[in-house]
Structures are given as C-alpha cells and as structure tokens.
Structure 1
Amino acid sequence: MAGGGSSDAELLRGFKTLAVSRPDPAAAVYEVRLNRPAQRNALSPEAFAEIPRAMSLLDRLPAARAVVLSASGPHFCAGIELGAPGSPLAAVPGRGADPAAAAEGLRRGILDLQAALTAVELCRKPVIAAVHGACVGGGVELVAACDIRYCSGDATFVLKEVDMAIVADLGALQRLPRIVGYGNAADLALTGRTITALEAKEMGLVSRVFDSKQELDAAVAKIAKGYLPELEN
C-alpha cells in the first residue's frame, strides 16, 4: 500500500466502534481508540470485526511506525458485550436444539474472537496500550496482545470470567503467563480479583504507571515517537 493522504483517508472512515487517527501529522504514530464510551467500550461483535481491520491497515501502511491503543471515556474496556446480538457467547441453546451443532458454533465463534485479538499481536508495528480506568475481562486479553502496556494510577485490571463460570479463552491464559508468570496468571484467572495499577506494575502486567490519564497520554505519545527513526524526505 502506498503511503500518503489516500491511506490516511481510508483509515479514518468506516469505523463505528473505533477511532483511528494520526494525532500528530509530523509523527508516524497512529492511535486506535476504543470509542464506545457510553458502553464503557465493551467489545461488541462489530468491535471484534473492526480491530483486525484496523491492525491490518496499519500493518501495511508505510507511514505508520508505531500504534497506540487507547480508549475514550472514563474506562478502558468493560470486557466482552455478552448480550450483544451476533455474539457467539450470547446464544443459549433452546429446548430441542442440537447440542453438537451449538457447541461447534460456539467453538467457531470463539476462534473468530481469538483471531481478532491475535491481529494486535501480529501487527508488525509496535503496539503500545495506554490503559485508564477499569480494564475488565476481554479488555485485559486485548492489552495482553500488545507489545508494551502503560497505565494511569486509576487503572484497575480484572479477569471476571471465573465469576461467570466461563474461561478467559481469548488468549489471556496463553499470553499472561509469559508476561506476569504462571503463578500471577493463575491468581488472576482463578480468583477473579481486581488488582490496582501499582500491583499490575509489580507483577509486570504494565511497565509504568502515570499519575493521571493526561500524563499517561502525553508520555505514551512521547515514547511512541521514540521508536521512530527520522523519516526520509
């Protein structure tokens, strides 16, 4: 894909659950922002379709040298929108339903959700997560797929799946042990307890904690630019 205005225009249109932008035209840093603040950025089926599309576009865009993953509103992500129409986790087989067909449908749906988050991990550009407020369930699985994670002091992290008798199976159980160690990953997955920003830093889930979202955003923008070699004229 050739760099230039047409690529930027393609990125900026067509997303409903995300806002994709280049905040500083002088820097080759793009922002992918979860943009459903009224729903606390819960991950809907549409969001799971848009995340890999955004990452694929940025992966192929020469002008993009780093990606910041952030969120609108007071919270980063409320997790998966379980009751959303079209969600593979929302369907409950009714009386007379074929249990084998229902199980296969659920399996295929979960594989699709896993692939959406893996697209973040496969993006060849450094992806930096900037987390503030609550980061729940699928939100934790999303940031675990990023290369680097930073947060503000008000951030909290929790895997709530155990409280709903389901498994955190969108990649957290595979990625978190590599990030925080097996013991910490098991603690988070099996207890469903909420950890603070400072505890997240202590276990290695995030690299740095900033006092406020404003400081977080400013620092992450500066750090992202630090990844970039000077652009050739």
Structure 2
Amino acid sequence: MSDYQAFSVELADKIAHVLIDRPEKINAMNADFWTEIIEIFRWIDAMDEVRVVVLSGAGKHFSSGIDLMMLAQLGSQMGPDVGRNAEKLRRKILELQASFNAVDQCRKPVLAAIQGYCLGGAIDLIAACDMRYATLDAQFSIKEIDIGMAADVGTLQRLPRIIGDGMMRELAFTGRTIGGEEARSIGLVNRTFADASALLDGVMGIAREIAAKSPVAVRGTKEMIRYMRDHRVDDGLEYIATWNAAMLQSVDLRVAMAAHMSKQKPEFAD
C-alpha cells in the first residue's frame, strides 16, 4: 500500500479499512481524494487477500463533501468561451464520477461507517457503497441544492434505488438534514449505533462475518445484485444460470457443504 494524502488504508483479517483522513478539514474531498480513491479501490479489487472493505472518516465527521476550494479553483480556470468552458466542466464531472464508480464497481462488498456530517458529495460516496451504518447523531444532507447546483456524481442516479424515488426527491429538492434514526427508517442506513466507537466495532463485526464466507460466493452475489439494477428479471435469471454454470464447480461449494454437515467452521482460500 502506498502513502496517501487524503486517506489511510489498513489491511487486517482480510478487511481493508479505508479511512478518509483529513479530520482538520472535516474530511472534505480535495483533489488528492478524487484521484487516490481510484488507486485504492483498484488495489482492493486486484488484491485477493481483501474480501471486504470498511469505509469510514477520521475524527468527529464522516465527510463534509467536496472541498469548496477545489470548486473555486475550477471556477478560476473558466475562460470567455461558453462552449470550451462546458467541455472542460463536462470532462471534470466525468472524472469525479469515475472516482465513485470505482467504489460501486469494486468486486468486494463495501460497508460505510458514518458519524457526524455526511453532506453533499459524501452522500454520492455512500450511495456507491453496498451497505451503510451510522451513529444516531449522524447528519445527512443532499447539500448541492443549497449551493445552486444539482448533485452530479451519483446521488440522483443511485439513491432512488436505496430509499425510493419520492424520498430522494424530497431530500434533493429541500436539502434538509436528517439524523441517524430517520436515515435508518427510510432505508438509507441498515442500522444505527450509539456512538462512533460502537459504530466501528459493529461494522467491523459485520465485515468479519462476510469475510468468513466463500469469496467466490460473495463475488457472485454482488455481481448479480449490481446487474439487476439495470436489467429485467428474465435477464438476471439468464445471467445467474450462466455464471453459476462455472462457479458451482468451485471447491468452495464442497468445503461449505462438508463444514455444514460436520458442524465445523469452513476455511476458504483467497
């Protein structure tokens, strides 16, 4: 693992802990953040030893979203030609989208542990994760509407499938802040915890449980869930039939069945 400016990354017990590590800036997403997250998730995707990812933020807050200094710098690069400005902005937006696509497309399950602020771009980030968990005092807001823009790196595309279309529209149009318990009630987070310490302990426990499963089975399960977002049921059934025609030949199936019959804990290869 490399040294990062915006993150700290640790690998233990087959769990990669990816920590947004700019607490003095409320973990705002600066230029380093957007490039490093792609590098980190490429490494995670390629590293067979990693079976699960836990994504969290250092300090009191998960993240306050995109660094406004970065937006200001981008604005200063605009010239007099509207067409050229639009082309430059479009390329930049697509680059930022690629950062969270790397999280969404990761072969391993990604669990977000959220405390304090989760604002603006941080909502885009957690929407790209597989599961989300929060403290009761967490604060969520699709903040882009309050700075005069539409969210453009994934919230409006991914969140309707998580919390439903109507609730997503309410939060996106009003920018209102919701707490941890309301986030749980609308399905934005799976579970709430009393404080940051209990949150991380709880999420790591869930991650360890997933890491103990067959990595082949976990990989196939995530792939099928992702595929079904954009396809019909018939397409999904056809795909899983083809997928499992190969994957059911894995030794993991025999290991799991033998362990179940002998009431032993299975041990799977990476």
TM-score by length of 2: 0.77
Cα offset, 1:85, TM superposition: 7.5
User: Deviating runs (4+, > 2 A) in structure 1?
Assistant: 84-88, 90-94, 229-233
Whole-angstrom CA distance in 2 between matches of 1:91 and 1:118: 27
- Find the aligned partners of 1:48 and 1:28 in 2 and give their Cα distance: 25
Deviation at 1:84, TM superposition (A): 2.3
Instruction: Tell me whether 1:178 sits opposite 2:161 in the alignment.
Output: yes
Aligned partner of 2:152 in structure 1 is 169
Aligned-pair CA distance for 1:86:
8.5
Deviation of 1:191 (Å): 0.2
Shift in Å, 1:46? 1.1
Contact 1:28 / 1:66 at 8 angstroms: preserved in 2? yes
Q: Could you tell me how far 1:145 is from its partner in structure 2?
A: 0.3
SS in structure 2 opposite 1:170?
A: coil
Q: What is the match of residue 194 of structure 2?
A: 211
| Aligned with residue 149 of structure 1, among 124, 132, 156 | 132
Task: Write the mapping of 1:72-221 to structure 2, written as runs, cut at 5 A.
Answer: 72-84=58-70, 88=74, 90-91=75-76, 93=78, 97-221=80-204
Report how far residue 45 of structure 1 moved: 1.4
Q: Distance in 1 between matches of 2:128 and 2:140?
A: 15
Tell me the matched-pair count. 216
Q: What amino acid is aligned across from residue 172 of structure 2 in structure 1?
A: A
Aligned to 2:22: 36
Say if 1:214 and 1:59 are closer, same or farther in 2 by CA, change over 3 A.
same
Alpha-carbon deviation of 1:58? 0.4
Q: Which is richer in helix?
A: 2
The aligned amino acid for 1:93 is: M
Shift of 1:160: 1.0
Q: Distance in 2 between the 1:100 and 1:16 partners?
A: 34
Q: How far apart, in 2, do the equivalents of 1:117 and 1:144 lie?
A: 9
C-alpha distance 85-156 of structure 1, shift in aligned 2 (>3 A): closer
SS of alignment partner, residue 185 of structure 1: helix
Gaps of 5+ in 1: 1-10
Shift of residue 231 of structure 1? 4.4
Find the residue that maps to 2:91 and give its secondary structure.
helix
Percent identity for Structure 1 against Structure 2: 41
Deviations 1:70-95 (A, max 9, x none): 0101111011012228954x44635x
Q: What 5-or-longer segments of structure 2 have no aligned partner?
A: 214-266
Equivalent-residue separation in structure 2 for 1:87 and 1:59 (angstroms): 32
SS in 2 for 1:19: strand
